[in-house]
Structure 1
């Protein structure tokens, strides 16, 4: 049986929410091995003068817990 750890990661983008989610996964993959899935938890944005300036996507990243060697 494999235990799975889940963490929250916030990605940002000036282009859109999907790009923000992709940024979150890309950055997390630099320090987390074997990411098996993500779940989008929240979509938000910073607005200035009536226009979206930065998209933010909070994702839950799931990966297996490996035994220490």
Structure 2
């Protein structure tokens, strides 16, 4: 039986939500091993002077505890 743990991570990108998601998983993998999935809980953007300047994601990352 596998034990799966879930952590919540916030990340951002100036390019896209997809890039923000990749950044989150990449950063989390530096300290968390055996990542199995990521679930996007929420997305938002920062707007400055009528332009989108930053994409933000809130993720739940699941990983197997060994």
Give the TM-score taking structure 1 as reference length: 0.90
Q: Which residue in the other structure is 2:59 paired with?
A: 59
Contact 2:11 2:24 in 1 (8 A): yes
RMSD between aligned alpha carbons? 0.7
Q: Which residue in the other structure is 2:48 paired with?
A: 48
Deviating runs (4+, > 4 A) in structure 1?
Answer: none
Give the TM-score taking structure 2 as reference length: 0.94
Query: How far 1:15 moved relative to its partner?
Result: 0.3
CA distance in 1, matches of 2:65, 2:34: 9
Query: How far 1:11 moved relative to its partner?
Result: 1.3
Contact 2:34 2:65 in 1 (8 A): no
Structure 1 gap ranges (5+): none
Query: How far 1:65 moved relative to its partner?
Result: 1.6
Structure 2 gap ranges (5+): none
Deviations 1:11-66 (CA, angstroms, capped at 9, x unpaired): 11000110000100000000000101111111111111111111001111000122
